[in-house]
Amino acid sequence: MDTNFFEIEGHRFEIIEAGFTDTANTTTLWIPDIQLLVAGDVVYNGIHQYLAETTESTRHDWIQVIDRLIQLNPQYVIVGHKVPENENNPQIMGETKQYLLDFNSLDKETTPH
């Protein structure tokens, strides 16, 4: 695509490049008309996050992306990984961020065997 947005029937869909989150080259989709964030792999909902490809540095970058998405103030957040019966509540962005912060903290306290 030549732009970071497209329109369908007069509604704007904005593509947000997230960079490296749980893997390389992740994106989200923001639909401002209905305050909907399709977060894909950037936000998780009620399950353990895939961190095998991450480093402390990429997890820090991931946290910064989440902070940017929180600023959009979405009313609904659709994720790529979730417990099916969980709601699409925006609070899951903060929960994903806290998971990453906790993981970074615990990772510094442990040593591999």
Mean pLDDT (the chain) is 95
Q: What topology does CATH give the domain 5-109?
A: Metallo-beta-lactamase; Chain A (3.60.15)
Look at residue 33 and tell me whether its pLDDT is greater than 90.
yes
In DSSP notation, 42-66 reads EEEESS----TT--HHHHHHHHHHH
Q: What is the pLDDT at residue 2?
A: 85
The predicted-structure confidence for 63-93, as pLDDT tens digits, reads as follows: 999 999 999 999 999 999 999 999 999 999 9
Q: Where are the domains of the chain?
A: 5-109
Residue 32: both structure tokens together: 């401002």
Q: How far apart are CA 113 and CA 7, in angstroms?
A: 52
Q: How far apart are CA 57 and CA 65, in angstroms?
A: 13
Q: How far is CA 86 from CA 81, 90, 99, in A?
A: 11, 12, 17
- Which DSSP state fits 111? -
